[in-house]
């Protein structure tokens, strides 16, 4: 599983549609200060579902949309598509290539797609669970994040190890099952009350 392609349009400093192709192995992105290197990493975080503007080095979500320059008018929406090679089937989906897309308008409305089919943000989170990729994954380590990981609370650090060990999916299913069980217990209590009333 590896990142094959990123396409940006109207995202931060990238007003025009731009495509970055990657191969397996290591790729370096170099450029002068302020040329948009970190914006590319922000684009990956964003398409994977980042919800906090701060996480994307902005103050509001609208900051991900190209805001215009002296010579160029602002644009109305921002779109990022990332394509991931899934030949090793690490993602639990029946495709060898998966494209995740997100589009946001100035109104704040966000749309998500998996292989061009509209989906919920939850579907994207579930697709990446236990792969190390994803909103909470450790695949994107930002500047200063190593220090944060080392100084964080042990319980929070444990989440990182759980993700790496591939058990987050099971923990989530367990907690959903407990919730359902609790709901059923409440239903049973209500049924018993009704039975007593009828007797």
The Cα–Cα gap between 80 and 39 comes to 11
Closest by Cα among 97, 100, 134, 92 to 116: 100
Choose between 33 and 151: whose C-beta lies nearer to ligand ATP: 33
The Cα–Cα gap between 48 and 67 comes to 22
By CB under 6 A, residue 67 contacts ligand ATP:
yes
Q: Residue 77 pairs with which residues in a beta bridge?
A: 105
Choose between 94 and 109: whose C-beta lies nearer to ligand ATP: 109
By CB under 6 A, residue 46 contacts ligand ATP:
no
In whole angstroms, the minimum distance from the beta carbon of 48 to ligand ATP comes to 17
In whole angstroms, the minimum distance from the beta carbon of 14 to ligand ATP comes to 8
By CB under 6 A, residue 140 contacts ligand ATP:
no
By CB under 6 A, residue 13 contacts ligand ATP:
yes
Number of neighbours of residue 84 by Cβ within 10 angstroms: 21
The Cα–Cα gap between 130 and 137 comes to 8
Task: Mark residues 146-175: x for contact with ligand ATP by CB under 6 A, - for none.
Answer: ------------------------------
Neighbour order of strands in the sheet with 18-21: 18-21, 2-9, 77-85, 97-105, 110-114, 117-119
32 is in an annotated binding site: yes
In whole angstroms, the minimum distance from the beta carbon of 142 to ligand ATP comes to 11
User: Looking at 6, 7, 39, 86, which residue binds ligand ATP (CB under 6 A)?
Assistant: 39
By CB under 6 A, residue 34 contacts ligand ATP:
yes
Radius of gyration, CA atoms only, the chain: 21
> Taking contact as CB under 6 A, which single stretch among the options 65-73, 84-92, 98-106, 134-142 is the one that binds ligand ATP?
65-73
Q: Which residues contact 173 (CB under 8 A, 6 or more apart)?
A: none
User: Looking at 1, 2, 20, 38, which residue binds ligand ATP (CB under 6 A)?
Assistant: 38
Q: Is 59 exposed, middle or buried (0-12, 13-18, 19+ CB in 10 A)?
A: exposed
By CB under 6 A, residue 63 contacts ligand ATP:
yes
Number of neighbours of residue 65 by Cβ within 10 angstroms: 21
Residues at the binding site for ATP are 32-39
Residues engaged in binding ligand ATP (CB under 6 A) = 12-13, 31, 33-39, 63, 65-67
């Amino acid at each position: 599983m590896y990142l094959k392609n990123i396409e940006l349009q109207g995202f931060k400093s990238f007003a025009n549609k731009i495509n970055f192709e990657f191969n397996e192995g290591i790729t370096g992105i170099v450029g002068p200060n302020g040329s948009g290197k970190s914006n590319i990493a922000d684009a990956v975080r964003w398409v994977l579902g980042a919800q906090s503007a701060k996480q994307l080095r902005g103050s509001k979500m609208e900051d991900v949309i190209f805001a215009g320059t002296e010579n160029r008018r602002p644009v109305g929406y921002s779109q990022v598509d990332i394509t991931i090679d899934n030949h090793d089937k690490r993602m639990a989906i029946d495709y060898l290539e998966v494209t995740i897309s997100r589009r946001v308008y100035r109104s704040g409305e966000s749309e998500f797609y998996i292989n061009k089919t509209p989906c919920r943000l939850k579907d994207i989170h579930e697709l990446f669970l236990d792969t190390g990729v994803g909103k909470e994954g450790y695949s994107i380590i930002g500047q200063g994040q190593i220090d944060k990981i080392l100084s964080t609370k042990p319980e929070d650090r444990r989440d990182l190890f759980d993700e790496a060990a591939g058990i987050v999916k099971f923990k989530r299913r367990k907690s959903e099952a407990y919730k359902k069980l609790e709901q059923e217990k409440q239903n049973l209590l209500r049924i018993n009350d009704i039975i007593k009333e009828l007797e």
